[in-house]
């Protein structure tokens, strides 16, 4: 019997495969209720605080809309407008907020900050993205993969790009935990940290999963079931990094040639937001400076029938609700 009441949700390394599967099952139920219009305000009267030191569309909206669906009220605390950081430490903020709220979400910088917040808070703390991990994203990702293929067993997922960022790290962890095959296609400089790779390889011994790191994109993506990529420069990293990252990662772009190399049934996933055209201010700036119209994924693949990025984005809502429900319920 899985019981997650009162637990923090800081990184997937802290959870057993059974606990992760349980959250996915709850998310499937919540998705059904949402689609059928069945009320599910199981947490009526509770309140959550959402701290965002970095921008967000999906995560913020999933926590806010999800809290409302579950009968709760959410307070958004953005990068400016509160005392956090300038006049008040994370420890003091945690000790204040947990006297007013039933749960706290944090999106920001070092993983140590969210771990500290949890240490000083008497209510559950949820990681909405740090530099190292993005655990709520992973639940939506594997939910989408399972919806597509009916099961996760034996599925091979290849992450192409900056594999030592929060999304790359977390994908390697979730694949290991759920017995999937994780492949990374990246230049050596951007391979995930060796210590995390070793930890995941140990987990794979128990779960039947596997980890493979490749510098050759065609070798990495041959016959894979899931192609996954993320932005080449993450939030919090300097704009000056773009030139270096373009040089390093252009060979790892997910384009038609890569898609054709994958399995015929392959799907494309991306946590979003994505630079697949010049429709954004950063996209335009990169085009003007470097002449690139699309970056980590070509527009052709992003818009193709293999793309499941918007199903994946929707699943952020259902999975984040599952995390709030299971950790806050009585």
Residue from the set 114, 226, 231, 309 that interacts with ligand NVA by CB under 6 A: 231
- The secondary structure of residue 288, as a DSSP letter, is H
Any catalytic annotation for residue 247?
no
User: Using CA atoms, how far apart are residues 27 and 21, in angstroms rounded to an integer?
Assistant: 10
CB of 233 to ligand NVA, least distance (A): 8
Question: Of the listed 60, 98, 116, 137, which one is catalytic?
Answer: 137
CB of 53 to ligand NVA, least distance (A): 12
User: Using CA atoms, how far apart are residues 67 and 69, in angstroms rounded to an integer?
Assistant: 6
Residue from the set 235, 241, 282, 292 that interacts with ligand NVA by CB under 6 A: 235
CB of 44 to ligand NVA, least distance (A): 30
Any catalytic annotation for residue 47?
no
Nearer to ligand NVA, 237 or 300 (CB): 237
- CB of 273 closer than 8 Å to CB of 231: yes
Specify the residue for token string 């139920």: 29
Any catalytic annotation for residue 212?
no
Chain residue at closest Cβ approach to ligand NVA: 234
Any catalytic annotation for residue 22?
no
Torsion, Cα 175 180 186 188, to 10 degrees, reads 80
Give yes or no for residue 229 binding ligand NVA (CB under 6 A).
Answer: no
Scanning the chain, the segments in alpha helix (DSSP H) are: 17-36, 58-69, 90-97, 111-120, 135-149, 166-177, 194-207, 217-221, 241-249, 256-261, 281-290, 299-302, 309-328
- CB of 69 closer than 8 Å to CB of 34: yes
Give yes or no for residue 241 binding ligand NVA (CB under 6 A).
Answer: no
- C-beta neighbour count of 223 within 10 angstroms: 11
Any catalytic annotation for residue 245?
no
Nearer to ligand CP, 110 or 216 (CB): 110
Q: Which two tokens stand for residue 278?
A: 């010049």
Question: Which residues inside 106-135 make contact with ligand NVA, applying CB under 6 A?
Answer: 129
Give yes or no for residue 292 binding ligand CP (CB under 6 A).
Answer: no
**Residue partners of 38: CB distance under 8 A and separation at least 6:** 32
Give yes or no for residue 167 binding ligand NVA (CB under 6 A).
Answer: yes
Q: Which two tokens stand for residue 104?
A: 């706290």
Give yes or no for residue 177 binding ligand CP (CB under 6 A).
Answer: no
Question: Which residues inside 88-147 make contact with ligand CP, applying CB under 6 A?
Answer: 129, 137
234 binds, among ligand CP, ligand NVA, none (CB under 5 to 8 A by kind): ligand NVA
CB of 223 to ligand CP, least distance (A): 27
Question: Of the listed 102, 271, 308, 318, which one is catalytic?
Answer: 271
Cα–Cα nearest to 159, from 191, 130, 133, 129:
191
Give me the sheet containing 156-160, strands edge to edge: 210-214, 181-185, 156-160, 226-229, 267-270
Q: What is the CA radius of gyration of the chain?
A: 19
Question: Which residues inside 254-283 make contact with ligand CP, applying CB under 6 A?
Answer: 271-272
User: Using CA atoms, how far apart are residues 83 and 122, in angstroms rounded to an integer?
Assistant: 20
Which residues here bind ligand CP, judged by CB under 6 A?
A: 56-59, 129, 137, 271-272
Which residues here bind ligand NVA, judged by CB under 6 A?
A: 129, 165-167, 230-231, 234-235, 271
Residues annotated as catalytic are 107, 134, 137, 230, 271, 316
């Amino acid at each position: 019997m899985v019981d997650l009441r009162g637990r923090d949700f800081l990184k997937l390394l802290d959870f057993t495969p059974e606990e992760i599967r349980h959250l996915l099952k709850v998310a499937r139920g919540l998705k059904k209720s949402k689609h059928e219009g069945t009320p599910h305000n199981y947490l009526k009267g509770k309140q959550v605080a959402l701290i965002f030191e970095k921008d967000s569309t999906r995560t913020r909206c999933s926590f806010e809309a999800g809290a409302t669906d579950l009968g709760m009220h959410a307070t958004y605390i953005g990068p400016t407008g509160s005392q956090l950081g300038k006049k008040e430490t994370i420890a003091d903020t945690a000790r204040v907020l947990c006297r007013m709220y039933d749960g706290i979400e944090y999106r920001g910088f070092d993983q140590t900050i969210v771990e500290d917040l949890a240490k000083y808070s008497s209510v559950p703390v949820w990681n909405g993205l740090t530099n190292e991990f993005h655990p709520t994203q992973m639940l939506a990702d594997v939910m989408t993969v399972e919806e597509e293929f009916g099961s996760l067993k034996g599925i091979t997922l290849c992450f192409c790009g900056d594999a030592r960022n929060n999304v790359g790290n977390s994908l390697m962890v979730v694949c290991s935990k759920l017995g999937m095959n994780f492949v990374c296609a990246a230049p050596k400089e951007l391979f995930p940290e060796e210590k995390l790779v070793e930890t995941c390889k140990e987990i794979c011994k128990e779960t039947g999963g596997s980890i493979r790191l490749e510098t050759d994109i065609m070798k990495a993506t041959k016959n894979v079931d899931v192609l996954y990529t993320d932005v080449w420069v993450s939030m919090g990293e300097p704009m000056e990094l773009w030139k270096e990252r373009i040089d390093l990662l252009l060979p790892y772009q997910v384009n038609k040639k890569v898609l054709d190399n994958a399995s015929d049934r392959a799907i494309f996933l991306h946590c979003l937001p994505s630079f697949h055209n010049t429709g954004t201010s950063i996209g335009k700036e990169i085009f003007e400076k470097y002449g690139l119209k699309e970056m980590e994924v070509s527009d052709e693949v992003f818009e193709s029938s293999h793309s499941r990025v918007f199903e994946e984005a929707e699943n952020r809502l259902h999975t984040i609700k599952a995390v709030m429900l299971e950790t806050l319920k009585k």
